[in-house]
Chains A and B, each alone.
Chain A
Amino acid sequence: MNIEFLHAPANTVAKVSLKPGEICTAEAGAMMAMSGNTQITTTTYKKSGRGILKGLKRMLAGESFFVNHFEAKNKEAELWLGAAISGDMMQYQLDNESLIVQGSSFLACEHQVEIDLGWQGFKSLLSGESIFWLNLKGSGKVIINAFGAIYPIEVDGEYIVDSGHIVAFNESLNFSITKAGSSWIQSILGGEGLVCKFNGQGTVWCQSHNPSSFGNHLTPELKPIKK
């Protein structure tokens, strides 16, 4: 599986080249175009089963319940993947390790990479942003998308990131939810609310814009849902 990014950073699109028999697993709805010989199967979580429970967990994670598997049949195939909102993408090579990815930032991975909900998912319920985390385990390539630019931060010790700006981080880092200001009142009035404090050694990838800030900015312009 060979990944090429085009039109970065604003309108990034991932062009994935698949050799015959190779399978790429992608987030539901990410496919823009593909060669005619690509076969698509939709499963809850992984082709090999253990489906429903994992699927439910994925539903909890805010990630859609289903992922698509694209397989190149008989000959090479290409697959174009894009995201709904504008921004950059990155690829990460997992080498028998884990990467924690923010639910909506996951775009695609090689078939053998295991997708799971990390325990952080439950912790982050408290973070005030509706963010959940996927735990990508094993070895293989992973594609991650972001809203705006992606920039890595090497953490050695402690570092604070607003939870809406986190794209992914190494499993070697612990994180706790904390308040941004010195008092709770300050934190809430300051609009920062709760932030993530990272601890340990590893890399955090951040996105330059917070999707929910943008979404909330649009709220007054959108037609309300009548109930």
Chain B
Amino acid sequence: MTQLYYISITGKLLNNVEMDQAVENFARRFKLPLEKAQQMIQKAPVILKKGLDEDSALKYQQASKSVGLDCQISKEASQASNSSESLTTSQIISDGKALGEQHDSNQCPKSMPEHQFRYAGKPDYGFVTIDLPANDTIKVEASSMATMDTNIRMKTKLKGGLGRFITGESLFINEFTAENGPGEIGIAPATPGDITHQYLNGNTLFLQNSAFVACSMGVNTETKWQGFTKGFFSGENFFLIKCSGQGDLWFNTYGALIEIDIEDEYVVDTGNIVAFSEGLDYQITKVGGYKSLFFSGEGFVCRFKGRGKLWMQTRGTDAFVNWCQSFRRVESSS
């Protein structure tokens, strides 16, 4: 078995070619209708051809570069999938929609103001790889770095000061800087779940203490002491990280991610809150009467009022830990 390769266009244009020109060249060169060529380039990164050996992969790359389209050769992962999945260009195009969709969840949004990044394993096991331009720095939750280029240097900062002791968030945010050239860093959150990105443009987001993954230097992170009524009595480690400023922000969930647009009032279990926007006023309350407080299994909930956006996760660490309790060994302390 020889190593097979697949080739994908990245969507970047080379040699100052105009978009229209590139589409036209691409269509002519690969004998595609103009419309489809355009769709493919717009959906980039998109796989051009799979199941190639090294020589033909290089030929494809050359052909693609000659029309002004940047492209990448990647090794195919499993040999088993080669035969069944080696698609010809025409097949890919006829399935263009399906392929495009498949890529969407792992694709970086088009109008990315700051960092380029890609996801893997979404939505069940989200992982993000962020490209850092030379000498750029990002802040990453401590111990979340999984992979990185060798020219990236890490610096530990006591960001957020002593407040971070209280939040239960690991004490440090690490800063990663790409020295002497660009680099990439792969970040894996601690819990299996989804990962998402928001671009802050002067607006403020509140993150639950364990949801923070990474942000660019323009984002200020400060822990917000909830006060006793809001934090302490909630029964969960319900502390918030206030993220404001300008730049990229990534956060993760435990389980799937659900976005809710709140219009007037919404009640959420404190363990399921991931993040919410600034316009919402919130209050920790008991869920119903006192009977419900003790026996409903919900305890305290967060009652949001106003207009804004809320992100929640489908699972809670607390609920899982509770579930595990019954499997603890019993030891006699003799």
Interface residues of A (CB under 8 A from B): 6-7, 10-13, 27-42, 64-66, 68, 80, 82-86, 212, 215-216, 218-219, 222-227
Task: Report whether B328 and A6 are in contact in the complex, using a CB–CB cutoff of 8 Å.
Answer: no
Asked, given contacts A11-B193, A28-B297, A68-B292, whether A36 binds B267 with beta carbons under 8 Å apart, the answer is yes
Contact partner, A226, options B258, B264, B333, Cβ 8 Å: B333
List 6 extra interface pairs beyond A36-B264, A68-B298, CB under 8 A. A12-B314, A31-B269, A33-B272, A36-B303, A212-B327, A225-B330
Contacts of B322 in A (CB 8 A): 84
Chain B residues with a Cβ under 8 A of chain A: 123-124, 192-193, 255-256, 258, 260, 264-269, 272, 287-289, 291-292, 295-298, 303, 305, 312, 314-316, 319-320, 322-324, 326-333
Pick the most buried of B124, B324, B330: most chain A CB atoms within 10 A of its CB: B324
Docked CA distance A40–B295 (Å): 12
A181 to chain B, nearest CB (A): 26
Tell me the smallest distance from the CB of A137 to a CB of chain B, in Å: 24
Residues of A within 8 A of B328 (CB): 219, 222-225
Provide the bound-state CA to CA distance between A34 and B269, in Å: 9
Select which of A28, A29, A82, A219 is within 8 A of B255 by beta carbon.
A82
In the complex, the answer to whether A32 meets B330 with C-beta atoms within 8 Å is no
Contact call A66/B332, Cβ cutoff below 8 A: no
Q: Are A11 and B255 in contact (CB under 8 A)?
A: yes
* Given A7-B123, A40-B288, A80-B258: A68 in contact with B267 (beta carbons within 8 A): no
> What's the least CB distance linking B292 to chain A, in Å?
4
Evaluate contact between B269 and A32: CB separation under 8 angstroms: yes
CA–CA, A41 and B292, complex, Å: 6
Task: Please name all residues of chain B whose beta carbon is closer than 8 Å to the beta carbon of A218 when the two chains form the complex.
Answer: 324, 327
B298 touches A215 (CB 8 A): no
Q: What are the 5 closest A-B residue pairs judged by CB atoms, nearest first?
A: A36-B265, A29-B297, A28-B297, A7-B256, A11-B256
Whether the Cβ atoms of B295 and A84 lie closer than 8 Å is: no
- In the bound complex, residues from chain B placing their C-beta under 8 Å from that of A31 are 269, 287, 296, 298
Closest chain-B Cβ to A165's Cβ sits at a distance in Å of 18
Question: How far is B319's CA from A82's CA once the two chains are assembled, in angstroms?
Answer: 10
Instruction: Compute how far the CA of A224 lies from the CA of B330 in the bound complex, rounded to whole angstroms.
Output: 6
Pairwise interchain contact A29-B295, C-beta atoms closer than 8 A: no
For B192, the chain A residues whose CB sits under 8 A away are: 86
Known: A215-B327, A218-B324, A222-B324. A33 touches B292 (CB 8 A): no
**Cα-based distance from A66 to B124 in the complex (angstroms):** 32
> Can you name the residue of chain B whose Cβ is closest to the Cβ of A40?
B288
How many angstroms from the CA of A75 to the CA of B331 in the assembled complex? 53
> In whole angstroms, what is the CA distance A96 to B292 when docked?
31
Residue of A whose beta carbon sits closest to that of B321 = A84
Cβ-neighbour of B320 out of A7, A80, A85 (below 8 A): A85
| A and B contact pairs by CB, cutoff 8 A, 5 listed | A10-B256, A42-B291, A66-B297, A84-B323, A226-B333
Q: Which residues of A contact B297 (CB under 8 A)?
A: 27-30, 64, 66, 68
Q: Across the interface, which residues of A come within 8 angstroms of B266, CB to CB? A: 33-36
Contact of A33 among B267, B326, B327, B331 (CB under 8 A): B267
A84: chain B residues at CB < 8 Å are 315-316, 319-320, 322-323
Question: What residue in chain A is nearest B262 (Cβ atoms)?
Answer: A36
A38 to B296 alpha-carbon distance, docked (Å): 15
Interfacial chain A residues near B329, Cβ < 8 Å: 219, 222, 224-225
Tell whether, in the assembled complex, residue B269 and residue A66 are in contact, meaning their CB atoms are under 8 Å apart.
no
**B327→A219 contact, CB < 8 A:** yes
Tell me the bound Cα distance from A37 to B192 in angstroms: 32
- Tell me which of A13, A33, A65 contacts B269 (CB under 8 A): A33
Given the known inter-chain contacts A29-B296, A41-B288, A86-B315, please indicate yes or no for A6 contacting B258, CB distance below 8 A: yes
Judging by beta carbons under 8 Å apart, are B314 and A227 in contact?
no
| B314 pairs with A42, CB closer than 8 A | no
Do B327 and A35 have beta carbons less than 8 Å apart? Answer: no
Contact between B295 and A65 (Cβ–Cβ < 8 Å)? yes
Give the chain B neighbours of A10 by CB distance below 8 A. Answer: 124, 256
| Nearest opposing residue in chain A for B326, CB measure | A215
